[in-house]
């Protein structure tokens, strides 16, 4: 019989994927825990809708400010080291915030600062992760690798993580933050062992970062298919974040849910995605023996 590791990350996906995939699993679980624990933490400090909604805005703001520049840096720097640095930084920020919360010394502004720093590091890590996968997995098997990463994100980050995060929050408000810090540290350790080293571009042909950003935006705008997709995702993300920003207040004040029940409520949205996976071609290919 094939081992679980060989089943989830078979040899045709490459040795590096056997490190990338477990790192994704671990970090997705930690991120999922924070999806429920983060709003609960802010709502435990303030019940003002504007202040609770501001937390979601602060965390997503770096994507608007830095995402394009992060993409340029991914093309210029070692993607593996970028992920390791970003995950290590996030682990430090979360551990510091978690300990402050456990000691009851974390004001709302400190939570905002931590969320902004986490969002900034996320722009680097997420952009670099996609690029690293392309370098680490043979081209013919990229679809399979992407499907497995997407599946782990749906199952762990959206379905399994939120109830766990809410349960940990009920035990102690800072515990899910420390847990997420541990998952990032573990993921960074795994990614540090990835062997692939994509060639860096020639310094002599390098242009200014701002110029490369402008060229990328110009290219996107003149390709109608990609432009439509990007704008659609933008609108979808804005509307989702707007609805989710104060969902914790609705759950607690209108529905009367406990912390654990809120975690279950958050995870319900992922049930449809999990049930729909087997009907897609990518899912069938991803889990084929």
How much is the pLDDT for 270? 74
Q: Between helices 175-191 and 17-45, what is the axis angle to 10°? A: 160
Distance CA 270, CA 10 (A): 26
How much is the pLDDT for 283? 45
pTM, full prediction = 0.86
pLDDT mean for each 10 residues of the chain (289 residues): 50 83 93 93 94 92 90 88 96 97 94 96 92 86 84 86 94 96 96 80 68 86 90 88 88 92 86 63 45
Token pair in block for residue 8: 């989830």
Distance CA 169, CA 36 (A): 9
How much is the pLDDT for 187? 96
In contact, 108 and 202? CB cutoff 8 Å: no
Q: How far is CA 105 from the centre of its chain?
A: 27
């Amino acid at each position: 019989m094939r081992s679980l590791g060989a089943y989830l990350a078979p040899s045709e996906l490459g040795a590096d994927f056997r490190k990338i995939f477990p790192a994704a699993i671990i970090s997705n679980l930690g991120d999922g825990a924070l999806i429920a624990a983060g709003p609960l933490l802010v709502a435990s400090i303030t019940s003002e809708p504007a202040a609770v909604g501001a937390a979601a805005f602060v965390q997503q703001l770096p994507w608007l400010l830095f995402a394009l520049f992060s993409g340029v840096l991914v093309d210029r720097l070692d993607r593996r080291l970028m992920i390791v640095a970003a995950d290590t930084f996030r682990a430090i920020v979360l551990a510091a915030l978690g300990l402050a919360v456990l000691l009851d010394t974390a004001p709302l502004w400190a939570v905002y600062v931590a969320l902004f720093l986490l969002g900034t590091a996320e722009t680097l890590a997420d952009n670099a992760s996609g690029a690293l996968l392309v370098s680490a997995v043979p081209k013919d098997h990229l679809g399979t690798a992407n499907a497995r990463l997407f599946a782990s994100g749906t199952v762990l980050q959206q379905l399994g993580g939120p109830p766990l995060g809410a349960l940990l929050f009920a035990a102690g408000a800072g515990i899910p933050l420390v847990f997420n810090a541990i998952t990032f540290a573990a993921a960074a350790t795994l990614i540090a062992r990835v062997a692939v080293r994509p060639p860096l571009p020639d310094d002599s042909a390098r242009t200014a970062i701002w110029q490369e950003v402008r060229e990328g935006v110009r290219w996107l705008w003149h390709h109608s298919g990609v432009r439509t997709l990007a704008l659609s995702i933008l609108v979808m993300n804005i509307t989702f974040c707007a609805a989710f920003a104060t969902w914790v207040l609705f759950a607690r004040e209108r529905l009367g849910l406990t912390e654990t029940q809120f975690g279950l409520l958050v995870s319900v949205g992922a049930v449809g995605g999990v049930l729909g996976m087997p009907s897609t071609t990518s899912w069938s290919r991803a889990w084929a023996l």
